[in-house]
Structures are given as C-alpha cells and as structure tokens.
Amino acid sequence: MVSPSMRIDEGCDLDSDNSVLMREKLAVLIVDDDAVVRKVHEKLASQLKVAKQVQTETATNGKEALDLHLSGSSFDIILMEMDLPIMDGPEVTKELRAMGVKSMIVGVTSRDSQVEKTAFMVAGLDECLEKPLTADKISSLVETLEKKK
C-alpha cells in the first residue's frame, strides 16, 4: 500500500529541458475487482509523462476505496469500475462525494448502455470512459485535471 500522497496542485517543476511543466507527484487510485485490469491500468498510469512520480494504489471493491479515503489517503484521479463487489461504483462515488472528496472520479465500464452510464455520472463522476483504457485516454484525464485547477 502506498502512503498518503501530496495533491497534484501542491507543486510543479520544470522538466530537464525547461520547456514542459511537470508535477512532482500524481496519485491515482484504481478501483477494480479484476486483477488483470488493475495491472493494465497501473501500467498505463505509470507511463504518464506529466509527473516526476506517479503513485498508484489499488482497491478490489468499493469498501476498500472508502476505507482508503477514511485512512487519510488522497488521490488526484480515481478510476472507478462500475460493477464492483460489496459496493458498486455509483454507490461508492456517491459516498465519496458526500464525504467531500474533490478528486477527479472517472467511471470505467465495459457496458454500452447510455442509461447506466448516465446513472453513474449522476452519482458524481467527472467523466465516464469505456474499457479498454488507453494511454491517450489517461493522458486526456490529466489534461482535463490541469485545466480545472
């Protein structure tokens, strides 16, 4: 388990050629019950070139995600699977927002039902993406995060 991390807006620096602004740390929580999906998402996040250090942490169900927040962990981006054991993605998202979590929460689903995606968005997502995630999709999330700050 990774220790609680600094928020993305707490610091930035110039990269080696002094042309691109880079963050010190980017903290990403990956919530998915599928071990392969978690590993793929961790690998994609770790390859981001927007931070000197990308820290990832994983949770296998919604309760673990809530417990991480309650333990003091903070994340810049939360990749939240829709279908989770114990508490599903929409339920966890509602709880996190009710607790005041300001992290970018991104729903991740393999479902193509617009009704289900809309219900997930209403729970408090910033965005909802279909699987499979790609490096471009994750980079786009970081760009969106940067624009919001």
- The per-residue pLDDT for 134 is 93
The pTM for the full model equals 0.83
Q: Which CATH superfamily is domain 8-148 in?
A: Response regulator (3.40.50.2300)
> How does pLDDT run across 30-77, given as a tens digit for each residue?
999 999 999 999 999 988 877 678 899 999 999 999 999 999 999 999
> How does pLDDT run across 109-144, given as a tens digit for each residue?
998 889 989 999 999 999 999 999 999 999 899 888
Residue 112 burial by Cβ neighbours in a 10 Å radius (0-12, 13-18, 19+): exposed
